[in-house]
Amino acid sequence: MTGIGHNTIAGDRLKSFIERVERLEGEKAEVSGQIKEVYAEAKASGFDAKTIRKVVGLRKKPTEERQAEEALLDRYMYALGMAALEE
């Protein structure tokens, strides 16, 4: 978009987009802080935050994708002598 003037409709629309992004960035920072608080609370209750993060990530994936990744991880660990291969 060229020729966006200071008082044009395009300028107003651009400003609207920027303000929306700024508002959402603020909300994202707030939510991020809340998530950190939950992890800290879980840790204070004796849970491992790193493992909880891993579980949250795994739960986002479709079952088939998760199972394929776990199977490949098992094979790699077996190849390195770190685990017995179960099939």
Q: For residue 84, tell me if it sits in a domain.
A: no
Number of other CB atoms surrounding residue 47 within 10 Å: 12
Q: Are 7 and 21 in contact (CB under 8 A)?
A: no
59 vs 69: CA distance, rounded Å: 13
Q: Are 80 and 73 in contact (CB under 8 A)?
A: no
Reply yes or no on whether the pLDDT at 4 is more than 90.
no
Q: Give the whole-number percent of the chain exceeding pLDDT 90.
A: 82
76 vs 81: CA distance, rounded Å: 9
Q: For residue 2, tell me if it sits in a domain.
A: no
Number of structural domains in the chain: 1
Question: Where residue 46 falls among pLDDT bands split at 50, 70, 90?
Answer: very high
Question: Where residue 84 falls among pLDDT bands split at 50, 70, 90?
Answer: confident
Q: For residue 64, tell me if it sits in a domain.
A: yes
Q: For residue 3, tell me if it sits in a domain.
A: no
Range of the domain at 65: 9-79
